[in-house]
Structure 1
Amino acid sequence: MTVSSPDAVRDPERLTTPPQSCRRLNLLLLLSVLALALALAALGAFVLLRWPCEGKEKTVEIETAAKMSDAEKMATAARAALEIAVKPEVAAATAAKERNGAHLIAGDVEVTEKLVVPWHHSNYLDSVSIGPDFDYKPELKQLEILKEGLYYLYAQLSVTCVQDPCTQKGNITLAIERGALETSVLQIPLKLPEKKASTFSGTLLCLSRNDRLQGRLHVQGATKYTRWQLDQDNLNFFGLLRVRSACKE
């Protein structure tokens, strides 16, 4: 008869049931897996529910930014127009910086009654700027408007005496005219015989697509001023800036 030691005797339950520590470990692993699954589910729900809202919010933000951008552009143009009105000498540089404007310099012409002024119109010239919303017609000496809006229209007339003494007296007016009817929309009068004189003026004007502007000289006191010429120091110019895209009040 064989006698077994107590350590050699194995409990049948211990053969099929894992130790308590193993059960705890398995429970922890199970809870971890469940927690991870719940976290992934929550993340998926957040993604599905949140992203469409964020897309709508982004769309609203972009639309708002676009509207603010238009408002900022109008404010910038208004400030530029005011700057030109206060300091006409900055007109060329300001117009070149703004893409919604044009600035033209008068050509070398004599002061003659009803003369339609030719304008230098090449963007390669330092003091000339024509934005994409304008088209100069050299054969007609007219600037065509390609986009309607409220514009700040400005011009300056400057003459100088080329012969002494400057005895010819009278008045010279540069009229900016619109359309085939030659309706005057801006007038710059200048009284002679100052040795050298110039005057500047500007106004707000609603312009439509395909409107055309031109400059014409009018003289009183003589049909031709042989002793006077338009100043050639880029002081005879006309230009405009769009300060609003529509003419609504």
Structure 2
Amino acid sequence: MSSVPPSVNSGDVESPGVSHTRCRSLDYCLVVSITLLALTVGALCALYIIWEKPLKVYSVGHQGDKQTASAHLVADNVVLDNVTLSWTHTAGVGSAYMSSDFRYDSGELVVGRAGLYYVYSQLTLTCVALRDCPVNGSASLTALKTSGDNRTPVLTLGVQLNNSSNLSPPTSFSGALQQLSVGDRLSARLWTDLPTEHWQMDQQENTFLGLFWVSGAL
């Protein structure tokens, strides 16, 4: 007696075309998920670098100055004026240093290695009057990048005085990621309407300009 094979419902068997389409959809979702994860991690890393405190930024750059292109320049004149600042850049003089990937030329830091850099700067003022200094005024520092004949601001930071400015030194810090090419020049322009007999830049090397290499050219 011959046996009858069990009947098969066509709905119980997935066609090869449907299975292949589903696999392709899963692969696409996986690729998209990995890409989004990588972008999220990259964005978080960039935000972490950007929002770190000035001392942390300085520490990272200083620790890597022998392996990574980096520099940390401190203002060599504390007088407030509307001028392009000059800087102390010689290693061993205070906290200043400059790796071999840069050279200093008349107030400008000349880049010798292309790449993506974190550029940072801080402006700190101090009252030098015998009594409280007037607090009606402000000062600002603009870091500039010169590429050939083009000059563009990299970052700007400002100090607006208020009633608490006589209690603690008013300060402002800013940092930004910036693509730099070989031959680009960094400088800083100071502006103020404060009376110089009352206010000057802090003498404790708290006005500075620095940068460190993050990655290769984009």
User: Could you tell me which of 200, 204, 225 is aligned with 2:177?
Assistant: 204
Cα 1:238–1:214 shift into 2, 3 Å: same
User: Could you tell me which of 93, 99, 107 is aligned with 1:141?
Assistant: 107
Query: Residue 206 of structure 2 corresponds to which residue in structure 1?
Result: 235
Cα distance in structure 2, aligned partners of 1:230 and 1:167: 15
Identity of aligned residues (%): 32
Higher RCO (C-alpha 8 Å, min separation 6):
2
Is residue 50–residue 176 contact of structure 2 (8 Å, CA) maintained in 1?
no
Cα distance in structure 2, aligned partners of 1:120 and 1:147: 21
Query: Residue 188 of structure 1 corresponds to which residue in structure 2?
Result: 157
TM-score, structure 1 as length reference: 0.60
Is residue 84–residue 90 contact of structure 1 (8 Å, CA) maintained in 2?
no
Query: Residue 52 of structure 2 corresponds to which residue in structure 1?
Result: 86
Whichever residue aligns with residue 165 of structure 1, its letter is D
Following TM superposition, the consecutive aligned residue runs of length 4 or more in structure 1 with deviations greater than 6 angstroms are: 78-81
- Alpha-carbon distance, 1:92 to partner: 3.6
- Alpha-carbon distance, 1:82 to partner: 4.2
Matches within 5 A, 1:3-22: none
Paired residues, number: 166
SS in 2 for 1:110: coil
Structure 1 gaps of 5+ residues are 1-77
Cα 1:81–1:151 shift into 2, 3 Å: farther
TM-score, structure 2 as length reference: 0.69
- Alpha-carbon distance, 1:85 to partner: 3.9
Query: Residue 111 of structure 1 corresponds to which residue in structure 2?
Result: 80
Cα 1:81–1:94 shift into 2, 3 Å: farther
Whichever residue aligns with residue 170 of structure 2, its letter is A
Q: Select the structure that is richer in helix.
A: 1
- Over the aligned positions, Cα root-mean-square deviation in angstroms equals 2.4
User: Could you tell me which of 134, 151, 154 is aligned with 2:120?
Assistant: 154
Is residue 71–residue 98 contact of structure 2 (8 Å, CA) maintained in 1?
yes
